[in-house]
């Protein structure tokens, strides 16, 4: 049986990569054809980083394959690049999955650090990314690399799909924004769209879930708006309840996204999604089957998409029925685990 050493950040620390692997590790006991072991890194000082590397080497020689999980940003690029270089020097088969993608760091790589990228990752055996755009960029840098576009994943909660009724223009409609609260995630666009819709006479509320650097100023700015509710960081049943009671999920991000897990979770809960074409979103979110991709920084387009979902009951119901089946097929942990590792099954 092949042994795959998966190198990840600390899985107890919230983040896209840790959520991804916590989901996959939850199903690994169901797969008896490959042995997946984990080494967690992420120390913030030099001594800790050396300790991380020593721990990696202790597991390294018992593994047939090393699976690295960087994002295209400075810290993890250098850290995982060093691990990749060790694998290359010692002749170990290596797979690299780039999760996040920072556009500014991409531009810096092209201008100044392309040789470093090629040194670290130019000879790995397989690369995964979350967007065709990212694939094209890597193949431009290194045409011979084998690069595939993959999905991220989510933790399934529901055993059966939620049945959602058509929306009524005369009744309350709840929008949900769930993400780390940074302005580049489009939070103020979602708020502006909500207020625009209320100005037309529609009864629209926006639930905002998540913590982050923008939370304090946003809460202060919109403290007198009862239709805008801030919940802070939510987990477990509190998070599930927000999904269950929402009618439409809104994430108009222009951040350097891979594929936000919150979008997959919303689709699992049968919610239509309104988002932008950042990162892997445009490759995953089928329009109009899953919802709408709108221009970034455009509250008017968000409001227009919400109005369409409220007024067109057939479209709303169709999306609500399509999304959970689609996300189960494309991004369920079991399906993704199989796609990533079935070549090594014995």
Give mean pLDDT, residues 161-168: 88
Closest by CA position to 249, among listed 275, 217, 283: 275
140-157, pLDDT tens digit by residue?
Answer: 999 999 999 999 999 999
**257 against 300, higher pLDDT:** 300
- For 97, the 3-state DSSP assignment is strand
Provide the b/e sequence for 71-98 (b: ≥16 CB within 10 Å). bbbeebbebbbebbebbbeeebbbbbbb
Instruction: Give how far the C-alpha of residue 246 lies from the chain's centroid of Cα atoms, to the nearest Å.
Output: 20
The pLDDT, as a whole number, for residue 14 is 81
What CATH number was assigned to the domain covering residues 3-150?
A: 3.40.50.11930
Q: Measuring CA to CA, how many Å separate 106 from each of 101, 113, 133?
A: 8, 9, 12
288-322, pLDDT tens digit by residue?
Answer: 999 999 999 999 999 999 999 999 999 999 999 99
183-219, pLDDT tens digit by residue?
Answer: 999 999 999 999 999 999 999 999 999 999 999 999 9
Fold identical between 3-150 and 173-330?
yes
The pLDDT, as a whole number, for residue 346 is 66
Side-chain half-sphere CA neighbours of 179 within 13 A: 26
> Can you tell me the distance from the alpha carbon of 306 to that of 252, in angstroms, rounded to the nearest whole number?
12
Residue with tokens 């991000």: 253
Question: What residues does each domain of the chain span?
Answer: 3-150, 173-330
- The contacts of residue 20 (CB under 8 Å, 6+ apart) are 69, 99, 152, 153, 261
Give mean pLDDT, residues 96-118: 94
- CATH superfamily label, 173-330: Glycogen Phosphorylase B; (3.40.50.2000)
- For 74, the 3-state DSSP assignment is helix
> Can you tell me the distance from the alpha carbon of 198 to that of 188, in angstroms, rounded to the nearest whole number?
15
pTM, two decimals, is 0.91
């Amino acid at each position: 049986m092949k042994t795959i050493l998966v190198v990840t950040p600390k899985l107890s620390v919230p983040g896209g990569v840790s959520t991804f692997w916590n989901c996959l590790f939850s199903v690994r006991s169901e797969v008896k054809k490959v042995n997946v072991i984990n080494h967690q890194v992420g120390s913030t000082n030099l001594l800790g980083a050396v300790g991380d590397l020593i721990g990696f080497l202790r597991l390294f020689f018992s593994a047939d394959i090393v699976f690295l999980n960087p994002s295209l940003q400075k810290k993890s690029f250098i850290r995982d690049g060093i691990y990749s270089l060790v694998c290359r020097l010692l002749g170990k088969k290596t797979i690299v999955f780039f999760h996040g993608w920072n556009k500014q760091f991409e531009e810096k790589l092209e201008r100044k650090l392309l040789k470093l990228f090629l040194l670290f990752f130019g000879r790995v055996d397989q690369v995964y990314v979350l967007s065709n755009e990212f694939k094209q960029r890597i193949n431009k840098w290194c045409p011979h690399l084998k690069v595939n576009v993959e999905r991220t994943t989510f933790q399934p909660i529901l055993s059966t799909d939620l049945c959602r009724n058509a929306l009524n223009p005369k009744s309350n409609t709840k929008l949900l924004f769930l993400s780390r609260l940074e302005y580049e995630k489009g939070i103020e666009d979602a708020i502006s769209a909500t207020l625009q819709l209320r100005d037309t006479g529609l009864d629209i509320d926006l639930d905002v879930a998540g913590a982050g650097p923008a939370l304090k100023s946003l809460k202060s700015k919109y403290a007198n708006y009862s239709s805008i509710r801030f919940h802070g960081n939510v987990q477990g049943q509190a998070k599930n309840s927000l999904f269950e009671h929402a009618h439409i999920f809104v994430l108009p991000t222009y951040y350097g996204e891979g594929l936000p897990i919150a979008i997959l979770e919303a689709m699992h809960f049968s919610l239509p999604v309104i988002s932008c074409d950042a990162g892997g979103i445009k490759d995953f979110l089928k329009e109009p089957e899953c919802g709408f991709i709108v221009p970034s920084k455009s509250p008017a387009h968000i409001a227009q998409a919400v109005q369409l979902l409220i007024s067109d009951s057939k479209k709303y119901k169709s999306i609500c029925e399509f999304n959970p089946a689609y996300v189960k097929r494309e991004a369920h942990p079991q399906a993704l685990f199989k796609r990533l590792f079935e070549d090594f099954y014995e």
